[in-house]
Chain A
Amino acid sequence: MNPRLYNLFISSQRKLYRFALSLTKDVKDAEDILQDTLLKLWKLRDDWESWDNFEAYAMRMIRNEYLNYIKKQKSLTHSTLEEIPEFAEPSQTETEMTTDDLMFRFNSLTSKLPDIQRNILHLREIEELEYKEIAKVMEISEAQVKVYLYRARQYLKERVHGKR
């Protein structure tokens, strides 16, 4: 296997995982989507020279995988009881921030945004992609990326400077 491709596979995992997490907001689902996407990419590895940007290509696949996933998903909307606290059990023993804790603030602030704006915001703020790269992942024009990002930031500006 081409060592450059090998390195790309390994080095992009973290970014891809974060993007999957941003889409699903769930650790397990994000892991499943990442795994499926990496397997698909692996199958296509012979054509990788034709992908002009590995990360953008992989992120687009993550997004497509997610869209397929939500089409299939018919999960129950209610919450599970796994975390009902037992009486008199220490409730704050963890000092280390978990993945859920780390994504909590970002997700709370952006949860009311339309998916497309939230996805673009993630790619720009967290993954620090250029407009051109975001356009490739989202399969829209650069101009549309700018418009969506503008709307998302305007909403957030009000959110962080205004209410709660």
Chain B
Amino acid sequence: MEKDKLEILLEKYWKAETTLAEEKLIKAYLSKQAADESHTGDKDWFAAIQDFSEIGHDEVLFTIEQKNRKSVMLGYPVWLKIAAVTILVSGLTWLGVDYNQKLNTQLEIEALARRTAEESLMSMSNALNQAYQHLNEPTELPDNAVTEN
């Protein structure tokens, strides 16, 4: 694509006047461009889109087994039972959690703040001690070192 055409397309793009095909063209073109100084802002944005588009989901969240694939079809009544139990269990759990949360929210906030403060102090303490240890480690003096008495 020529540079002029890209400029025109980008102008149209930011005004939301491009078609899907034109937008795909811009994406394809900018993704092949070297990381030079031109269109840095545009490239940042399209790279962000590209990143998000790469998100997949490796786990299969929902599967249906079929009779004609020599596997057992998950029967409607059985499935219903499972779903009902799941909903019931999660519903009860949610109710319980929600009730407890109402009671404990304030206490949890305070406990969390305290825990963060403690973790932070410990992290600093560890770091400072490590620094101290390094400072106090005996180092061999070179042969020609002059020592003061």
Contact = CB atoms under 8 A, between A and B. Distances in A.
A105 B61 contact: no
A102 B61 contact: no
Interface residues of B, number: 46
A62 to B, nearest CB: 12
Contacts of A128: 20, 23-24
A119 interface: no
Given A1-B64, A149-B16, A160-B44, A88 B126 contact: yes
Contacts of A78: 109, 112-113
- Residue in B24, B52, B64, B105 with the greatest tally of chain A CB atoms within 10 Å: B52
A38 to B, nearest CB: 4
Interface in A95-115: 97, 99, 101-106, 108-109
A150 B16 contact: yes
21 contacts: A6-B66, A10-B63, A13-B62, A14-B57, A17-B55, A17-B56, A17-B57, A18-B53, A18-B55, A21-B55, A74-B98, A87-B126, A87-B127, A102-B51, A102-B52, A102-B54, A105-B44, A105-B51, A106-B52, A153-B16, A161-B42
